[in-house]
Amino acid sequence: MQQRLGVIDLGSNTTRLIIMSYRSHHSFRLLDEVRENVRLAEGIGEDGRLKQAPMDRAVATMRLYNRLCQSADVAEIIPVATSAAREATNGAEFLARVEREAGLTFRVLSTEEEAYYGYLGVANTLNLSDAFSIDIGGGSTQVAMIRGRRFIRSISQPIGALRLTDRFVKSDPISPKDFKALEQAAAERFADVDWLDQHGSSELAGIGGTIRTLADIDQKRRNYPIGLTHAYVFTREHLAETIDLLRGMTVHQREDVPGLNRDRADLILAGAVILHTVMKRGKFSQITVSGQGVREGLFYERFLAGEDPPLFADLRGFSIQNMARNFNYEAIHAAKVRDLSLSLFDQLTPLHGYGVWERELLGYAATLHDIGLAVGYYDHHRHGAYLIQSTALQGFSHREIALLALMVRYHRKGDVDTSELRMLLEDDDTQRVARLAALLRLSEFLERRKSQVVQSLRVEIGADVRVLARTSGDADIEIWDANRSTGLFRKSYGREMEIMAEKR
């Protein structure tokens, strides 16, 4: 049955609460998220003590978070604290006060644990095997090495966007001298982390608000056609350009930079420098943004309780199932459309020549093809596409998300037009969508009454293509509708198709 879990992350700069509704090992969805810029580590000096004002802000915010969880019927709360509380000389005493006044007993994550949960968030969110993850916080930065989806090792350095800003940004805009010092301080921290080199072909995955914000800025500059930050990829070159742009601006001027959230305008530069330093150090030419991190890692440990490590065995498959379930899809109908689509795909391989990747995507599109009905009947193919390209599907690239959205968009009617999503696609993807959507469309109409009357299909490839349907009963409607829908097949495969019931 459904449970509700709250995860609170008390960082040096921001604090966040997420509330998840879930059925263990089955499905989940985010119910609520609150973010507050407490800046707990603000003004920490040589004595390493948290200051009074930030502590008061934090206590007040935690009290509010706790009440929010109560009002939302959250059964369990997992509150964790990171570098600020971890390193402050008065951290323990501060957390004791939080427990007294806010009723929350915080767990202080070690640097290793912080890196581990960030890894869990990434490895359950992005489709990667050998990679590095970087999590830039307000007070510290964690880098982890991932091999075969497993956590190998990590390093944590006590430099974060807030801390470096406090220490090096003395003028507005920052002076060339201060900027140089900032770069050096960051570089020194990773100079002797040799294992960062040995990444061969590994990818870099980025966690945290700083990196998400840098992605938002990059998307705005490029007029990126969809609003998803998760799984967005941007290059080191672009990052360098963003840094050059920001370092010439005052904090106030930065507030007008599209994609840059006002309350990050002051810290973003230091954060960007840390990222650029690590990318240079590890010779990463690009970074893939993870929309999830430590908080979600803690959630997955609970959601996947019993798995060791708590990773989705089939990340992409789960992600599609989860979305379909969240929109109350008709499982039996979807499964039949999927079977018919894949049967056509396999038997038509001589014509399309596609492989396992396209087959996998076609199957996922079939599972999701009708979710748009949750919006409304008219144009539900458009609605389905909207839902897919508005959802941070775990384990898929933006190109794959675009392909899925377009297959669903054209699963009923229309000539394929991919122009709106061109920026996400490769040259031959328009034909790819047309050929795959054509099979999905035929299968959908062969399931017209959602009655599974068509049992199996036999394809005969000649000058034309004949499809013989073995049925469990009268399938006039289905055959009739399918034959009305062969236009996209004809256009995309260059052959006529005829569907008929198989004589018994």
Residue 440 one-letter amino acid: L
Q: What CA dihedral angle connects 15, 19, 24 and 25, to 10 degrees?
A: -70
Cβ-based nearer residue to a second copy, 350 or 377: 377
The one segment of 95-103, 159-167, 374-382, 433-441 that binds a second copy by CB under 8 A:
374-382
> How many angstroms separate the CA atoms of 272 and 182, rounded?
11
Segment interacting with a second copy, rule: CB under 8 A, options 57-65, 114-122, 149-157, 249-257: 57-65
Following DSSP, what letter does each residue of 262-320 receive, concatenated? GGGTTTHHHHHHHHHHHHHHTT-SEEEE-S--HHHHHHHHHHTTT-SS---TTHHHHHH
Residue 293 contacts residue 207 (beta carbons within 8 Å):
yes
The region of 275-283, 345-353, 389-397, 454-462 touching a second copy under the rule CB under 8 A is 389-397
Could you tell me how far CA 461 lies from the centroid of its own chain?
Answer: 41
Contact between 150 and a second copy (CB under 8 A)? no
Q: According to CB under 8 A, which residues from 67 to 106 bind a second copy?
A: 67-68, 71-72
Provide the minimum distance between the beta carbon of 135 and a second copy in the complex, in angstroms, as a whole number. Answer: 20
Regarding 419 and contact with a second copy (CB under 8 A), the answer is no
Does position 490 interact with a second copy (CB under 8 A)? The reply is no
Q: Does 256 bind a second copy (CB under 8 A)?
A: no
Of the candidates 45, 52, 355, 377, which one interacts with a second copy according to CB under 8 A? 377
Contact positions with a second copy (CB under 8 A) in 391-410:
391-392
CA atoms within 13 A on the CB side of 180: 3
Give the shortest CB-150-to-a second copy separation in angstroms.
Answer: 29
8 Å CB contact between 285 and 202: no
378 binds a second copy (CB under 8 A): yes
30 binds a second copy (CB under 8 A): yes
Shortest distance, position 146 Cβ to a second copy, whole Å: 26
Query: Which of 158, 302, 386, 501 touches a second copy by CB under 8 A?
Result: 386
Subset of residues 323 to 342 that bind a second copy, contact rule: CB under 8 A = 326
For 414, the token pair is: 């229309």
Contact stretch for a second copy (CB under 8 A) within 30-38, 268-276, 352-360, 423-431: 30-38
Least distance between a second copy and beta carbon 377 (Å): 5
* CA distance linking residue 425 with residue 399, whole number of Å: 6
Stretch that binds a second copy, among 141-149, 353-361, 381-389, 420-428 (CB under 8 A): 381-389
Contact 235, 206 (CB under 8 A): no
For residue 376, state whether it binds a second copy (rule: CB under 8 A): yes
Cβ proximity to a second copy: between 245 and 375 the closer is: 375
Residue 374 as a binder of a second copy (CB under 8 A): the answer is yes
* Binding range to a second copy, per CB under 8 A, among 114-122, 388-396, 397-405, 464-472: 388-396
Q: Which of 280, 382, 399, 490 binds a second copy (CB under 8 A)?
A: 382
Residue with smaller CB distance to a second copy, 67 or 283? 67
Using CB under 8 A, count the residues that bind a second copy. 35
The phi-psi region of residue 162 (left if phi > 0; otherwise alpha if psi is between -120 and 50; otherwise beta) is alpha
| Burial tier of 198 (Cβ tally within 10 Å: 0-12, 13-18, 19+) | exposed
Least Å from the CB of residue 397 to a second copy: 19
Show the DSSP H helices in 158-208 as ranges: 161-168, 176-191
157 membership: H or E segment, kind and range: strand 150-157
Region binding a second copy by CB under 8 A among candidate stretches 56-64, 178-186, 337-345, 438-446: 56-64
Peptide bond before 309: cis, by omega within 30 degrees of 0? yes
Packing angle, helices 356-368 and 315-326, rounded to 10: 20
Instruction: Determine if 383 is a binding residue for a second copy (CB under 8 A).
Output: yes
Cα 233 from Cα 217, distance rounded (Å): 12
Q: Give least dist CB 298 to a second copy, A.
A: 18
449 binds a second copy (CB under 8 A): yes
Q: What is the CA radius of gyration of the chain?
A: 26
What is the x/- site pattern for a second copy, positions 275-314, by CB under 8 A? ----------------------------------------
- Sheet of 233-235: strand order equals 150-157, 141-147, 131-136, 203-207, 286-289, 233-235
Should residue 64 be labelled a site residue for a second copy when binding is judged by CB under 8 A? yes
**Helical spans, DSSP H, in 38-175:** 52-71, 83-87, 91-102, 111-123, 161-168
Q: Which of 233, 477, 483, 502 binds a second copy (CB under 8 A)?
A: 477
With b for 16 or more beta-carbon neighbours within 10 A and e for fewer, the 83-119 pattern comes to bbbbbbebbeebbebbeeebebebebbebebbbbbbb
Q: Is position 387 an interface residue for a second copy (rule: CB under 8 A)?
A: yes
- List, in sequence order, every residue forming a beta bridge with 36; answer none if it has no partner: 15
Of residues 23, 26, 29, 220, which one binds a second copy by CB under 8 A? 29
Contact positions toward a second copy, by CB under 8 A? 29-33, 60, 63-64, 67-68, 71-72, 227, 326, 374-379, 382-383, 386-387, 390-392, 448-451, 474, 476-477, 480
